[in-house]
Structure 1
Amino acid sequence: MSAIEILEAQPLRRFHYLLLVLACLVYGLTAMNVMLIAVALRGISVEWGLDRVAAGLLASFGYVGMFLGALSSGFIADRMGRKLTMVMMLLIGSLFTGLCGLAPSYEVMGVLRLIAGFGLGGTLPLPGVYMSEYPPARYRGRFVGVVETSWVYGAILSVIFGYVLIPQYGWRTVFNAAYIPLA
């Protein structure tokens, strides 16, 4: 029996489940940060007098950043390591998403969304990479699937924060939820 066969024959251990929980948290909280703009966009549009095109463009800045971050994170992870890259990208994404609540203008918000998107996009591939490496092969598909469902939980969390915070405190406060991953 080869070393790989011995490793693949091992049962799931506490480590695998802990890694699964951490991957779900990272993926879900990243999704929450991505979706916060959607729940705040109506208030932003009213305050800054944005039409639909300008509002859509503002939301799109984050997706452009995500594209660039996702493209970059593999290269960065190969040089700096996956763990450090994931932590660094999550830090960038969370910090700059939170700063969106302080944006004084459309232009500043666009730049913050672009940088936040870079971090969030750079974070997204990495939990799946961990799930495709560490669990025994017969469990990998299930583990990746569970991590992917975390997107929905993060999106729901952003809506809950919007529902609770925006009516009473305004759209800016919802971006404070972005700091949760930093805690």
Structure 2
Amino acid sequence: MLYVHETLDRQTGLLVTNPIGEHITITELGEKYRVGPRRVRMILHHMGVLAAEGRRYRLPRAFVERGFGIRHDNPRSGYPFDVLSPKCQALIAEAWDDTVADLEGEAAPIMRRAEAALAAFRSTRRRELTTQQAVCWLCDNHPHLLHCQIADILGVTAQLVSRFTKLRAKRINIRKAQKDQRQTDPQRHALQQ
């Protein structure tokens, strides 16, 4: 999206618009590099462009002051978001490949440990785990793994991993709702048994 800076010319009384460049959101940057929204934020955080603020990764205010982007803290609808300036996009393009390689280098030992732990767990079982069970076990015991990493460990597609994790989340929510129901109405639950 093309951003402009509007100023009032006091001599003529007209509003003067000066274009400040084509800014893109972080998700759009991820689409440009063919990575998902979560992965692009992780890469930019590793690069130092984004900083953790609560449960989100946001563009630091010091970067905004230097002209690397704009923070939209109170949008009319939706969640707060950031856009990156052409200057920031150029810096990201220079460092992208090195940062991704560094991040993958850090992820390789984590994936090997998760794969070894899964193999050790499988050896204790009488029957072989299904793919869904293996995905759920990895999600429970190694929650920091991305879907693509779980897919690489199991040799399946990331879409299948995503489907199984959504199903897992749905079942967990159902169990929590049932547990809450029992706690809020213990007499009725006792009568049903």
- In the superposition, the TM-score normalised over structure 2's length comes to 0.29
Bigger proportion of residues as helix: 1
The structure with more radius of gyration: 2
Higher RCO (Cα < 8 Å, 6 or more apart): 1
Bigger proportion of residues as strand: 2
- In the superposition, the TM-score normalised over structure 1's length comes to 0.30
